A and B are shown apart, each in its own frame.
Chain A
Amino acid sequence: MPPMNGISEGKYRYKAGKLIVVNATFDCDTILKIKITGDFFLHPEERIEEIEEHLTRKKIGEIEALLERDFKDAEYEGISAESLAHAIREAWKRRA
């Protein structure tokens, strides 16, 4: 059962061909810290650090729109705005 308030950790491994792993710290529904790892492809590669920065201090309800923008001009395989948003939401649901 996720905590109703306070700081919590969430992790989710999402395998759909390639693997996406989300490790995140939440304060209620706000992302405090997030690390996205896996064997996917994303060009330019440094975009992943930008995405992590953009997600930091954002509320779960904001992530879809934010990721949509971040993936717009990128090339990717094994990860997408939708699959990453799904993995983040699952990590949030599983937080403890």
Chain B
Amino acid sequence: MDLRVIYDTGHPAYWNMGFDESLLVHLNEIGPTLRVYGWSPPAVSIGYFQSMTEEVNIQRAKELGVDLVRRITGGGAVYHKYELTYSITLPELRGRILDSYHLLDMGIIKALQTLNIDAKQAGINDVVVNGKKISGNAQTRKYGGLLQHGTLLIEVHPEEMFEILLVPEEKMKDKAISDVRQRVTSLKDIGVEIEFEELQKILVDGFKEALNADLYEEDVDEKIYDYAHKLEVEKYATHEWNFRR
């Protein structure tokens, strides 16, 4: 399989989600694409089924200049600041969606192996190291294809995260912070200090190996960007989308 690779930089949340969806919408024209990117400014993305007002301290996010966006995929809220994000679009795979996480999560597992880190898949969509989550992933199937996006944690800062993410009761905040410390890890926590660009390359090579793909670097046509911009403005930046649940 040929796999287009886009090494991207940090972008605002609305653009990131618009671009990922545009790559999925145009999958038949442009073929499978792997994009590795960051978020600038930092952002919180919430799962499709989540409520922004129940998950996020909106006032605090505004004060800290953190973007807020709803994804088209399920799962939980993610604080995007100290991590590398990927998105991959592929023609629909056969079989159950929940089973196909395993194949794509192998891209992350292979990348971590390159860094001499022994990682495993856990649950349906997480990758863990020493039993602690280092990567969360979410997938959807639409427009005749699939989109999976996920993160690989470079650092974890639970106190900073829970300045923005809400817990059901304020008194549970300390527990939430200690739970994250116990359940979540990062490359830094396991002694790996790595530049963003180097990690991008390692993750791309992980997917190459996992999918047995032939990689090529080629930018997409202007119309893919135009449609991404349309989605950015008309969907992902709107109150209607982000606060719909």
Q: Which residues of A contact B (CB under 8 A)?
A: 13, 21, 35-45, 48, 75, 77
Contact = CB atoms under 8 A, between A and B. Distances in A.
A43 B47 CA distance: 13
Chain B's interface size range is 20 to 34
B124 A35 contact: no
B77 interface: yes
Interface SS of chain B = loop
B245 A39 contact: no
B90 to A, nearest CB: 15
Contacts of B50: 37-39
Given A35-B245, A36-B49, A77-B98, A45 B74 contact: yes
Contacts of A21: 51, 54
B155 to A, nearest CB: 22
Interface of B: 47-51, 54, 72-77, 96-98, 124-125, 138, 140-142, 168, 245
5 contacts: A39-B76, A43-B74, A45-B48, A45-B72, A45-B140
Given A37-B245, A75-B97, A43 B49 contact: no
Contact of A40 (B49, B97, B140, B245): B49
A37 B51 contact: yes
Nearest to B138: A41
